Amino acid sequence: MRGLMQDSPLTIDTIFRHAEQHYGDVPIVTNSPKGVTRSTYGEWADRTRRLGGVLDTLGISADGRVGTFGWNSQRHLELYFAAPCTGRVLHTLNIRLFPEQLTYIANHAEDEVVFVDRSVFPLFWPLVDTMTTVRHVVVMEDGGDAELPDDPRISDYETLLAAASPVEFDVRDESLAASMCYTSGTTGNPKGVVYSHRSTVLHTMAALSPNAFGLSVRDVAMPVVPMFHANAWGIAQAAPAAGSALVFPGPMMQPEALAKIIVDEGVTFTAGVPTIWQGVLPHLAGQPHKLREIGCGGSAVPKALSEAYREQVGLPILQAWGMTETSPVASSGVLAKRLEDADDDTKATERARAGIPLFGVEARIVDADSLEPQPWDDTATGELQVRGPWCAKEYYNPDAGTVLSTEDGWMKTGDVAAMDRYGSIRIADRTKDLIKSGGEWISSVDLENAIMSHPKVAEAAVVGVKHSKWDERPLACVVLKQGETATAEEILDHLKPLVAKWWLPDAVEFIDEVPKTSVGKFSKKDLRAKFAEYSLES
Ligand code: ADP
């Protein structure tokens, strides 16, 4: 017997129409150096339909790739919908990548047009001739004042929009590609992940659930996570689906500016990587805000950072785990009811976990070679593998030898994790960041967490350096809070009661800043390069 329910496709134009029909009066605010611009979902919907017309006028192919190179803004949200709702494929380019990577990605995806914010135009334009498929560059005014050359490929967003007619959106096939995003490629070339309409709609529903971000018509949501970093973690689709007001920081990503707009616009939900919240903390502490949730992921959320928010801002940080390959949200650390009456430290320890997979995602830990399952005892570790309708099956035209899935259909994450008896995930490390000492593994993440609980420490990253006897030993790279001084002994004494003796770093280096990746994570690759010749044995 077959079910007798309607079989309507899960396509992104359903999210668009829902927002257009029901939330026309809900505000959308975009910040810029010239002040905020105020609009509504109603205006956004009208402009998005006309942007669909612009893509037709520019002659973008039926499934052509539409590149974007910009900050979080209402215009970026227009592109987020106009491209997939007309059957094209949105391709968000990371404005902080190296030029060679940008060229590689635009050519690999075969972008036909790139929409560029004026403030970052000087980063983009020198590359345009290396991008062999790019025929049009559309400039979006974001308060920047970069000069534009006289070139027939360049046009102005608002001029095109004013001349365009609105189009109907009617995507029938949920399996079509909707958008693509490249991982920053810590090793080898960047790898393209291609999201479908179906995967995006299902991910949106999961992101909306109370076990994740819990967005609703009562929220004012601000994605600080860039719209070029893994779909702004789904907020750009979830907010229109839920009717949450949206606040976009635009180019105003400085910590003071972020704290100010959170307060001024009554933001209730926001999300970004830990380094962002580290910077914002002193500007938000003690301010009258309306935040109910701060989402954080992309790398381990230090327990000390979450606790500092609880104490100084009035709410702890909500940790989520995911990857570009998982759309990205796959698990979250919303505290279970059983912990309601637990003491603060127990709760904080629990919040330092990546948490329970969202419904729709299954997770397992296995031996990476034999695929032997590891016990859920919170001690044994293994490669974290996931499966579900918003996890990638394969990369887009991958380099030879790049394999994402196991033979039995699970996605290999490259993360090493333990799981407790509830299946809550605790990320131990990325495989490539684990430190191998005398045949045993040391978790750099655990060491960093312990060092960052020292009151004088602002940031800490731990990398393995070569050792003749032990293979590798940990080196702690520590950034002290402004005005503080500390000795290596002080840091090591702090660690002694917190970690196994053989985990203690062999050396502590005080540095001015931990180098960051293009999406603001600690760049262990750069640190390893910096300390490649470091000698622990002299
Ligand atoms: P990139 O590879 O460019 O960093 P992603 O943003 O896709 O791109 O990174 C995904 C990786 O980020 C995960 O595999 C994991 O190592 C790390 N990560 C994400 N969330 C967390 C978290 N909550 N705790 C620890 N690591 C995390």
Distances 32 to 51, 72, 119, 129 between C-alpha atoms, Å = 22, 10, 10, 29
Reading the block at residue 206, the tokens are 């999961």
Task: Specify the 3-state DSSP secondary structure of 146.
Answer: coil
Query: According to the model, what pLDDT value does residue 246 have?
Result: 99
Distance 47 CA to ligand 1 centre (A): 34
Among the options 20, 325, 383, 459, which is catalytic? 325
Query: According to the model, what pLDDT value does residue 186 have?
Result: 59
For residue 534, give every residue at least 6 positions away whose Cβ sits within 8 Å of its Cβ, in sequence order, or none: 465, 466, 475, 507
Rg of the chain over all Cα atoms, to the nearest angstrom = 23
Reading the block at residue 528, the tokens are 């390893």
Phi and psi for 139 in degrees, rounded to 5?
Answer: -95, 135
Distance 253 CA to ligand 1 centre (A): 21
Among the options 412, 436, 516, 525, which is catalytic? 436
Q: Ligand 1 atom 25: the closest Cα is on which residue?
A: 300
Q: Residue 78 is inside which H or E element, if any?
A: helix 74-85
Query: According to the model, what pLDDT value does residue 439 have?
Result: 87
* Ligand 1 atom nearest to 518, measured from its CA: 3
- Indicate the pTM of the whole model: 0.94
Annotated catalytic residue 141: no
Reading the block at residue 344, the tokens are 């603060």
Q: For each of the domains in the chain, give its residue range(s) and CATH number, in order of start.
A: 12-227+235-252 (3.40.50.12780), 362-431 (2.30.38.10), 434-536 (3.30.300.30)
Task: Identify the CA nearest to 236 among candidates 310, 181, 159.
Answer: 181
Query: According to the model, what pLDDT value does residue 277 have?
Result: 97
Beta bridge partners of 270: 222, 294
Query: According to the model, what pLDDT value does residue 262 have?
Result: 98
Between CA 437 and CA 468 the distance in angstroms is 11
For residue 16, give every residue at least 6 positions away whose Cβ sits within 8 Å of its Cβ, in sequence order, or none: 45, 48, 81, 85, 169, 240
Between CA 526 and CA 514 the distance in angstroms is 9
Distance 298 CA to ligand 1 centre (A): 4
Query: According to the model, what pLDDT value does residue 537 have?
Result: 76
Query: What does pLDDT average to over the chain?
Result: 96
Give pLDDT tens digits for 409-430: 999 999 999 999 999 999 999 9
Annotated catalytic residue 459: no
Q: Which DSSP letter does residue 250 get?
A: B
Annotated catalytic residue 325: yes
Query: According to the model, what pLDDT value does residue 325 have?
Result: 97
Confidence of residue 71 (pLDDT cuts 50, 70, 90): very high
CB atoms within 10 A of CB 380: 13
Task: Identify the CA nearest to 82 among candidates 102, 68, 94, 103.
Answer: 68
Task: Specify the 3-state DSSP secondary structure of 334.
Answer: coil
Give pLDDT tens digits for 484-524: 999 999 999 999 999 999 999 999 999 999 999 999 999 99
Give pLDDT tens digits for 194-247: 999 999 999 999 999 999 999 999 999 999 999 999 999 999 999 999 999 999
Judged against a pLDDT cut of 70, whether residue 538 lies above it is answered with no
Q: Ligand 1 atom 12: the closest Cα is on which residue?
A: 298
Task: Specify the 3-state DSSP secondary structure of 29.
Answer: strand
Confidence of residue 82 (pLDDT cuts 50, 70, 90): very high
Query: According to the model, what pLDDT value does residue 401 have?
Result: 87
Query: According to the model, what pLDDT value does residue 536 have?
Result: 84
For residue 10, give every residue at least 6 positions away whose Cβ sits within 8 Å of its Cβ, in sequence order, or none: 174, 197, 198, 201, 202
Task: Identify the CA nearest to 420 among candidates 356, 384, 377, 383.
Answer: 377
Query: According to the model, what pLDDT value does residue 315 have?
Result: 98
- 5-9, 335-339, 466-470: least confident range: 466-470
What value does the mean pLDDT take over residues 521-531?
92
For residue 465, give every residue at least 6 positions away whose Cβ sits within 8 Å of its Cβ, in sequence order, or none: 472, 473, 474, 475, 506, 528, 531, 532, 534, 536
The C-alpha angle with vertex 428 and arms to 425 and 434, in degrees rounded to 5, equals: 155
Confidence of residue 444 (pLDDT cuts 50, 70, 90): very high
Task: Identify the CA nearest to 433 among candidates 525, 296, 533.
Answer: 525
Confidence of residue 185 (pLDDT cuts 50, 70, 90): low
Between CA 462 and CA 508 the distance in angstroms is 9
